[in-house]
Chains A and B, each alone.
Chain A
Amino acid sequence: MEELARAYQERDRAALEWKAQGGQVVGCLGSDVPEELLIAAGLLPVRVCGDPEADLERADPYIEHAFDPRVRSQFLRIIDGSYSYLDHLVVSSSSDALVRVFYYLRELRRTEPELPIPDLYFFDLLHTRYRTSALYNRDRARDLRRVIEGWCGRSITETDLAQAIAMCEENRRLLRRLSELRAPGAPRVIGAQALEVIGASMFLPRQEHSRLVAVFLEDAGTKDPLPGARLFVTGSTQDHVRFYELVESCGAVVVGEDHDWGARHSAGVAEITADPIDGVVDRYHLREPGAHQSTVSERVTALLEHVHDTDAQGLIAFIYEADDAPSWDFPEQREALESEGIPVLLLDRQSYKLEQTDELRRRVDAFVGSITRREQSERDVGCEGASHE
C-alpha cells in the first residue's frame, strides 16, 4: 500500500521518471480520454488534478466563479506551470466546465504564449446513449488515434492496441475486485484507502499499478471486516481524500461512490470488437452515467443500484460550490433513497479545500450516530423477537 499511497500523493513522480527515461507523457483532463490509445502508442497518460492547498484567487483573473473550485484548481495548475512537463494535454467533454476550460486554454495559448500551457487537443465524446452519438464518438477516437500517431511518430498497430486494451482491462478488473472488498456488508478496505488505490492508477504505468494492486488485494482479502456505519458518497468528484478521512474519523466506512476518481473509474468493460477502437470507445460512452453528462433519472437509477449493491446504510451527497449538475440530481436522489428508508445527508456548497471542518464533522457525526443507533435498535428488536421465539 505504501507504494500506491506514495504514487497517489506524489502525483508527478512517475511521470517525471518516465520522461527522464525518454518517454512522452500526456495529461488527461476529464475522465473520458480513451487512455488505451495513448498506452498503445507507448505514451504515459496521467490525469490532471487540482491542488486543495492552492490559492484559488490566483485563478480569478482567468476563470470565473461559475466554475466549480476543483475545475478552477485544475485550470490554475495548468497555467501556473505545474504541468509544463506534459508533452500534450487532452481535454475531454466530461463536463460543460471542462469544455469551456478547453476554449479558455486554447485562447490563452494563442494570445499569451508565455504561459506554460502544454500542446492541446480536445476529445469530443458525446454522452447521449444513442447510436448517432456512438458512431460520432468512434470517428472522434479514430481522429485521436491519428493525432497520437503523429505525436509518437509511428503507427499504432492492432497488436499495440490489443495489448493496451488487455492491460487496461486487467487494471480495471483488479479495481472492480477492490470494490468487492469494500462491500457488501463487510468492508475490508476503508474508503480513503480505496481512493488512493484507485487514484494511483491515474499516475502510474498501468502494469506497475496492476502489480501493486494485486499484492494489496491479496493482503486486504485476509483482513477482518471493518466496523462502522456503511456510507455511500455521491455528488462532486473527490480527487483528494480529505472528506473521506473526515467521514471515516466519525466511525463510518465509505463503501462506495459514483464519482470519477472512485469506483466509476473502473466501471464498464471494453468489449472485443472487429475494430478494437469501437469496443474501447463504447465503454467510455456507455458505462454508468457521470453526474455532469446524464439525466436526473439515469443518475437516480444508477445510485439506487449502487446503494443496494454496496449494502450502504446511508448516503452523503457532498457537492462543491458551483457544481450544479449533482445539485440538480440531488432532490430526486434523496426522495428515491428515503422512500426506501435509507437516510441521506446533504453537504452542499462545499469548498475544494475542505473548510469549516468542525461544522462538517458535527453534521457527519450526528448522521453516523443516527445510523448506528438505528442499527442498534433494529438489532435489539431482532434479539427480542428471537428470544420470544
Chain B
Amino acid sequence: MSEQRNPASSKRDSEWSGRASVKRLRSATEANNYQREWFAQTRQRVSKGEPFAIVNADVPQEILRTMDIPYVVNQWWSAVCSAKQMSPYYLGLLNERGYRQDLCRYCSLSLASAFDPHPENGPWGGLPRPTLAVSRLTCDAQAKIFELWSREFGIPFYPLENTVPLEVPERWWEKTSWHWEELFEPHRLDLMVEELEGLIRFLEMTTGRTFSDTRFRRVMELINEQEEYNKRTRDLIAETVPAPLSVTDQIPSVMIPQWHRGTQWALDAARSFYEEVRDLVQCGVAACEKERIRLMWLGTGLWFNLGFYQHFEERYGAVFVWSIYLALAADAYARYGGEPLRALASRFVGMEDMLHMPPWNTEWYLEEARKHQIRGVVHLVSNSCTQAVQGSYFIRRTFEDAGIPVLELQADTVDARQWDDAQMTAQLEAFLEMRLCVKP
C-alpha cells in the first residue's frame, strides 16, 4: 500500500507540473533560505521533545512567539506542499479516508500530509509531529479539521471563537494602527482578550513555558517596526512605474518574515526588503522593463504554479503588482497604544471582515487598486471555500463601477488536480486582449 502512495509515482502519473517562480530579489532568496534553516532547526528542537504547534494563519501567533513555542502555520505548510507538487498525492490520502475530493483543501492539505505513512518524504524532510493545535473558528470546517489533527496525534486543541460585527466602519485601514478601539465593538475585543488569556494559561499548562509580559511588549514593538517597513515598501511599489518587483518576489519577501513576526530577524528582513526595493527604484530597475499594464491578484496565491504570473509579464508586459500579502501586512497589523493583549486581539478580531467580507474588503481593495494604478483585477475564486469567494459579486461590481475590469479564475489555491493550465492561460490572455486591449 505504501508503494502505491509514493509521491514520486504520483507525480509521474501527472502529465502537468506547476512552474516555480523565478526569484529576482535577494531578500526573497534570503527569506527562503532562512525559512529552510529555521525549519531544520525546528525539526531538531521538536525531536528533542520541545513543544510544537500547528496553528491557523489568523491565530494570534504572537502568544506562541512570546513563549518561544515553535509553530507552523497551517496555510503556509499547505502552500509549501502545493509548491512542491505534493498536493495531488496528499489530497489523495485524505480522499482514501473517505473525505470527498472537493472539500475545502487549503485548510486541510496540511492535515492530509500528516496522513502520509512516510512523512519524511514530505517537503523539507516533512512536518514534525505537532504537540498542540490552535485555530480560529472562522468557518465551519476549522473545528472539524483541527479536531481531526488533535485526534490523529492525540494532542490538545484550543479553538478561538470568531465574532461578527454589527457596525461597518468607514475606511478601516486608516484606523487600525492608532484608533483600533473605535474600529471594533468592545464586546468583540473583550471576548477575544478573555480567550487569549485562556490560551496563555492553556499553553503554560500544556508546555510548561512561561509568558513574560515584558517579552510580549517587545514582540509587539518589533512587529510594529516591521509593519512600518512593509507600509513603506508597499507605498513605494504603488507609486513606482514601472514596478520594481511583482507579486512573485513580494510574497516570499513579505510572508516569510510575517510568519516570523516578533523576532529581530523578521524586522531585519522587512527592513532589508524595503531597502532592496528602494535601491531598485533609485536605480530605475523594473520587474518588467516593458511594463504596459498593472494587475491586481485577488485571493490567495496560486501555490502550485507560482510561475503562472511571470508568463504574462513576458508576453504582455502585464505585471501583477498587488496581492493581499504585502498590503495586509502594511495596513492591518501595526497597533499603537492601549493594553498590549487588547491591541493583539484587535489585530485579529476583524481580520476575517477585512479580507473576506464586503464592504470591508471591497472598499479597501478599490483604494489599493487606485493607489497602485491598477487597470485590471484577476480574482481567484475557489468554489470549495466560502472564505475564498469573499463576496465575488461585490468585488466585481465595486471594480467595474470604477472602470476596472475583473476576471474571475475558478480554481483551487493548492489543488493542482483540477487546474487546466492551457485553459487558464487562455482565459487570462483573452482578458488582457479583449477587456484591457493589451496585445502580445
Residues of A near any B CB (own CB < 8 A): 61-67, 93, 95-97, 99-100, 102-104, 106-107, 110-111, 121-122, 124, 126-128, 132-133, 136, 139-140, 292-297, 322, 324-325, 327-331, 334, 348-349
* Complex CA–CA separation, A316 to B315 (angstroms): 53
Q: Is the CB of A95 within 8 A of B140?
A: yes
What residues of chain A lie closer than 8 Å to B382, measured between beta carbons? 66
Check if B391 sits within 8 Å of A96, measured CB to CB: no
User: Does A102 contact B164, Cβ atoms closer than 8 Å?
Assistant: yes
| Given the contacts A327-B100, A328-B103, A295 and B140 also touching, CB distance less than 8 Å | no
Q: Show the binding face of B for A, using Cβ within 8 Å.
A: 97-100, 103-104, 137-141, 143-145, 147-148, 151, 159, 161, 163-164, 166, 168, 187, 191, 194-195, 198, 356-359, 381-386, 388-389, 391-394, 397
A126 / chain B contacts, CB cutoff of 8 Å: 161, 163
CB <8 Å contact, A128 and B147: no
Beyond the given pairs A128-B159, A136-B161, 10 more chain A to chain B contacts, judged by CB atoms under 8 angstroms and listed by A's residue number, are A122-B164, A126-B161, A126-B163, A127-B137, A297-B147, A325-B144, A328-B145, A328-B148, A331-B97, A348-B100
User: Is A139 within 8 A of B187, CB to CB?
Assistant: yes
Which residues from B are CB-within-8-Å of A93?
Answer: 164
Known: A65-B383, A136-B187, A136-B191. A324 touches B104 (CB 8 A): yes
Residues in A whose Cβ lies below 8 Å from that of B143 = 128, 293-295
A96 to B384, CA, bound (A): 13
- Return the chain A residue nearest B192 by Cβ: A132
Query: Which residues of the partner chain A approach B137 to less than 8 Å between Cβ atoms?
Result: 127-128
Please give the distance in Å from B65's CB to the nearest CB on chain A: 23
Q: Which residues of B contact A97 (CB under 8 A)?
A: 140, 386
Residue picked from B104, B164, B194, most chain A C-beta under 10 Å: B164
In the complex, the answer to whether A324 meets B103 with C-beta atoms within 8 Å is: yes
Q: Which of A104, A133, A327, A329 has most B Cβ within 10 Å? A: A327
Residues of A within 8 A of B198 (CB): 132
Instruction: State whether B393 touches A63 (Cβ < 8 A).
Output: yes
Find chain B residues with CB under 8 A from A132 CB: 161, 191, 194-195, 198
Distance in angstroms from A239 CB to nearest chain B CB is 18
Query: A343: shortest Cβ distance to chain B, in Å?
Result: 15
> 27 A-B residue contacts at CB 8 Å?
A64-B389, A66-B385, A93-B164, A96-B138, A96-B386, A99-B164, A100-B356, A102-B164, A103-B357, A103-B358, A104-B358, A107-B358, A107-B359, A126-B163, A128-B161, A132-B161, A132-B191, A132-B195, A133-B161, A140-B187, A324-B103, A324-B141, A325-B144, A327-B100, A328-B103, A328-B140, A328-B141
Minimum CB–CB distance from A375 to chain B (whole Å) comes to 26
Q: A331-B98, A331-B99 are in contact. Are A124 and B358 (CB under 8 A)?
A: no
Contact A66 B384 (CB under 8 A): yes
